[in-house]
Every structure is written in structure tokens, then in C-alpha cells.
Amino acid sequence: MSLEDRLSHYPSAENVKFVPRTEFDGVRGTLSTGPLREPPKDYAALLTQFGYDPGEVRIVGNPRVSRWEQRSRVRGTSEYETVWLSAFKFQIEAIGAPRTSLDLDAIVKQARQNPKPGTGPHWAVFQAGDLQIGKRASGGATEEILDRYFQSVEAFIREFKSAKRLGVEGIQISMPGDCVEGNVSQAGKNLWLTQETITEQTRIVRRLMMETVSAFAPLVDQLYLDTVNGNHDESQRIQNTYPGDGWATECATAVADALELNPTAYGHVKVRVPDKWCGCMTVPVGNSVVTVIHGHQFRVGQAMKWWSEQALHHQPAGAAHILQHGHYHSWQVETTEHRTRIQSSTFDGGSDWYRDTHGATNRRGALTYLLNAGDVSRMSLL
């Protein structure tokens, strides 16, 4: 009599919980093996066992493994035996399905590892959103934006050298969108107030990114340039296109290509942009997990609600300790015990319409802070 047959006559809490089952909506789903004495040698063979065609459905990510010891009475005897059982749960998806989600277990595992030796537990963050290169306002245009930006870069280097005694493993450059003013906002009504053409704007952003990487690269052994698109970074609005493919991510991708030409100087630099189907990305930064998003995906004051819904539906952002975003042009921090939302300020010359309507103006500059296992410290606006 097989072990599975024996177990079927002696149900336990583990047996009930880990019964074989599968759910699949035609795009994504799960597959649970139920109790097994020996782990499967070929995970792909499980697809056939559960009635899926391996040419149409695949296993993604790593399995979730449960193991427990169980003592059961051998049927027909007065003897008992103790065995170790295992159960495996897999994520499955249709081959060719858009990859709109990530392997959360892999993200968290990677975040908790230290794949490359550093000089301490912290990561220094340079968070610069809403540059809006090309925008003209009473507070200045591109020249003033660039001047303020590089003031922030220089101030960050001074702050980094001051914080280095605490132990800093690497630097994250977080650019949460609206790197350019673009030409699609408000149905093109701001074109007269846009100083540079879109090609000039992107050329400036590419060089600005490259200068920032060059300034920070000598400071650490690990450096990330993390970039997502904002609403101003959309290439056009005639058609709905990939949210992860816009002017900001195109500039970052071009910088990544340039860095590969000099691995001696930039081999420790990694450029990260979201999947083309996603407007945000969830990535490890040292031993923290961070979601970078622009912020136009939720209304003012609704960021935590958006974040909680991502967690409810098991989306990648649900695994994050930190939410980095911009869009609302003011420095804000919102916390719970385990989560921190960090909203960037802006670099542009301000909104004259908003000032006339509400009287409000904002401090400009980048944010700098230290990250360690999801905790934030030494934050300031530079």
C-alpha cells in the first residue's frame, strides 16, 4: 500500500490543508501538490499530471514548500510509523501571457541577501522626481532646473561622506517620473510654455542621468539607477501604449547601453526600469524592498489605499517596505509600523496657475535618506 493510500485513511490538519488542487483562469493560477513523501524531481511533469499542456502552460518562479512530520497508524495493524511529508505550491501562467507581476518570494529573498560585500548595512538614496525638463514658469526654465538639480547632486555627495561612517553598502538613484515636461500634458495646451523640443528634452535627461551616475559611481561598489515614467513622460496619447515604455525609461535605457561600453568604470552600476506592461516596479535595494512609481495612478491622499489594494491582490508592490513616488510636487512622508511612503518634491519653476488659485509654492530639490531593512533615517531635502 502506498503512503498516499495510507494517509487517506488517517486524515490530519496537514492533510486537509494540503490537498491536491489547482486554479487557473486561462492566464495565471496556482498548482498545489498535496502531501508527498518524496519531492518531485521534475516540476514540469506536474503540469501533465494536473491536466495541463506544457506547451501552453508553464511554471513560474520558485515553489512554496511546506514540510512536516506525521505519525500515522498503518492500516490493518496496531503499528505506527513516522514519516516526513512535503507539499509544494507553484505559480503557473499561460505561455505568452504578459508579465505584469513578479516573483515576490524571489524579490524578498534577493533583498535579504548581500550578494556583494559592502561597507555597511545601509543604502543611501538620492530620490529626484518631477524634473520636468523643458518647462517654463515664473520660477525659471530648464537652465534653472539643471542648476538646482546639480546643487542637489553636490549636496548629496557631501551628505554621503558624512553618513559613510555609519556604513553604506550602495547608492540608489530613484527617479520616479516626469523627467521631461513632454508635449502631451493637458492635450498639448502647455506647448507654448515648453522651452525645448521633446528630442532636446530627452537629450538633456540622458546626459543628466549620465552625469549623476558618473558623480556617484566612485563612491560605492554598488549603484542603481531606477527610473519609471510619469504622465509627462508619455510619448503620445493618440493610442494607449505600454506604461513602462516612455521618455524617462528610454533615457535610462540609453544610459544603460552607454555604461556597458566602459565596464571598468561602470561595471558595478545597474540600470533598472519596469516591465513594459507596468507603470511601476518593485525591486530590492540592499536588504529593503522598494516600489518606485510616479503617483498619477492614484489621487492625492490615496497612495496608502492604492498600496493596500496592491497587497490585497498579491501584486508586487504588496511586498515593499518603501513606496517612492512624486507627481504631487511636495515633500511628504507617511508611515505605519512597517511601511513608509516617501513623496518627492519637484525641480521645476512652479505652477503659476496653482499659486494664483491656492497660493501654494513648494521647496525644490532632491531627497536623501538612508535605508536599512525597511527603516528610513537621516532624511533631508537637498
Cβ count near 137 (within 10 Å): 17
Length of the chain: 382
Residues 86 and 215 in one domain: no
Residues 116 and 74 in one domain: no
pLDDT by residue (tens digit) across 18-56?
Answer: 578 888 878 888 888 878 877 777 777 788 888 888 888
Assigned domain for 177 exists: yes
Report how far residue 343's alpha carbon sits from residue 376's, in angstroms, rounded to the nearest whole number: 13
The mean-pLDDT minimum among 46-60, 151-165, 362-376 falls in: 46-60
Residues 255 and 353 in one domain: yes
- Give residue 267's pLDDT band: very low, low, confident or very high (50, 70, 90): very high
Spatial strand order in the sheet of 57-73: 21-24, 28-32, 80-94, 57-73
Residues 89 and 124 in one domain: no
Q: Over 80: is that where the pLDDT of 248 sits?
A: yes
Report how far residue 364's alpha carbon sits from residue 239's, in angstroms, rounded to the nearest whole number: 33
CB contact at 8 A, 75 and 2: no
The residues, ordered by sequence, that sit 6+ positions from 230 with a Cβ below 8 Å of its Cβ are: 129, 130, 176, 177, 178, 179, 246, 248, 294, 295, 296, 326, 327
Residues 60 and 127 in one domain: no
Residues 80 and 163 in one domain: no
Choose the final residue of a domain: 48, 75, 94.
94
- Parallel, antiparallel, or unpaired for β 122-127 and 367-372? antiparallel
Domain that holds residue 43: 3-94
The residues, ordered by sequence, that sit 6+ positions from 372 with a Cβ below 8 Å of its Cβ are: 121, 122, 123, 286, 287, 288
Residues 74 and 110 in one domain: no
Which of 364, 326, 361 minimizes the C-alpha distance to 342?
326
Which of 294, 295, 251, 268 minimizes the C-alpha distance to 171?
268
Which of helix, strand or coil describes residue 173?
strand
Assigned domain for 287 exists: yes
Spatial strand order in the sheet of 322-325: 281-285, 288-292, 322-325, 340-343, 332-335
Choose the final residue of a domain: 68, 94, 120.
94
The mean-pLDDT minimum among 6-15, 29-38, 167-176, 230-239 falls in: 6-15
Assigned domain for 151 exists: yes
Whether this model's pTM surpasses 0.75 = no
Tell me the DSSP string of 300-342: TT-HHHHHHHHHHTT-GGGG-SEEEE-SS-S-EEEE-SS-EEE
Choose the final residue of a domain: 61, 94, 127.
94
Residues 271 and 336 in one domain: yes
Amino acid at 359: G
Among all chains, which residue has been given the C-alpha cell 485513511?
A: 9
What's the confidence (pLDDT) of residue 49? Answer: 83
Helix %, strand %, coil % of the chain (to 5): 30, 30, 40
Residues 118 and 156 in one domain: yes
Q: Which of the two residues, 12 and 187, has the higher pLDDT score?
A: 187
Q: Over 60: is that where the pLDDT of 98 sits?
A: no
Residues 52 and 146 in one domain: no
- pLDDT (mean) for 182-202: 85
What's the confidence (pLDDT) of residue 6? Answer: 37
Q: Over 80: is that where the pLDDT of 15 sits?
A: no
Residues 40 and 131 in one domain: no
CATH of the domain at 202: 3.60.21.10
For 126, list phi and psi in degrees, rounded to 5.
Answer: -115, 100
- pLDDT (mean) for 4-15: 39
Assigned domain for 99 exists: no
Assigned domain for 157 exists: yes
Work out how many domains the chain is built from and give that number. Answer: 2
Assigned domain for 77 exists: yes
What's the confidence (pLDDT) of residue 7? Answer: 36
Mean pLDDT over each residue of the chain, to the nearest integer:
85
Residues 72 and 130 in one domain: no
To the nearest 10°, report the CA torsion of 141, 142, 144, 150. Answer: 160
Q: Over 60: is that where the pLDDT of 102 sits?
A: no
Q: Over 80: is that where the pLDDT of 274 sits?
A: yes
Among all chains, which residue has been given the C-alpha cell 525591486?
A: 283
- Give residue 352's pLDDT band: very low, low, confident or very high (50, 70, 90): confident
- Give residue 10's pLDDT band: very low, low, confident or very high (50, 70, 90): very low
